[in-house]
């Protein structure tokens, strides 16, 4: 298939869908008058359009819309219920985590005696002992 033919096919298709400018439309019409195959293709699209038109459904009646609304409301309530439940669980989990963190911090910091703190710095202890031993009379 040549590029030129392809280009004309796409232009004709756009023209068929009413998507062409005035200028393009007149060019496509002239082309269609000259090209038998393009006219056949155009007829095929018209047939397809008629065929597809058979699939146009009935508009949803009030009863159907009201039924769908009820179901949607029901679904929405379920959605809101699940969301609030998830939020509640998340709040509980967050509160537990916070309590554990605070508890942990308190255990580590509040219970620590000063001697242990001092002993945690061995070089200071060594220095104090050294000073004490070097000046026993003080």
Q: Which residues bind another protein (CB under 8 A)?
A: 9-10, 13-14, 17, 19, 44-45, 48-49, 51-60, 64-65, 67-69, 71-72, 75-76, 79
CA distance 35 to 27: 12
Nearer to another protein, 72 or 118 (CB): 72
Distance of CA 38 to the CA centre of its chain: 45
The answer to whether 32 and 12 have CB atoms below 8 angstroms apart is: yes
Nearer to another protein, 34 or 53 (CB): 53
Length of the chain counted residue by residue: 138
H-helix or E-strand containing 64?
helix 62-110
Q: Which residue in this structure is represented by tokens 């061995």?
A: 122
Q: Strand, helix or coil at 25? A: helix
Q: What are phi and psi of 2, to 5 degrees?
A: -75, 160
């Amino acid at each position: 298939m040549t590029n030129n033919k392809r280009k004309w096919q796409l232009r004709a298709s756009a023209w068929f869908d009413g998507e062409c400018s005035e200028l393009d439309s007149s060019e496509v019409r002239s082309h269609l008058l000259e090209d038998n195959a393009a006219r056949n293709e155009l007829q095929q699209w018209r047939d397809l359009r008629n065929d597809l038109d058979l699939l146009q459904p009935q508009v949803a009646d009030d009863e159907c819309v009201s039924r769908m609304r009820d179901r949607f409301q029901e679904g929405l309530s379920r959605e809101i219920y699940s969301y609030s439940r998830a939020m509640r669980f998340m709040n509980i989990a967050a509160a537990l985590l916070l309590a554990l963190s605070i508890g942990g911090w308190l255990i580590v910091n509040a219970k620590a005696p000063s001697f242990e703190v001092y002993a945690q710095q061995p070089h200071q202890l060594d220095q104090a002992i050294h000073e004490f031993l070097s000046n026993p009379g003080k």
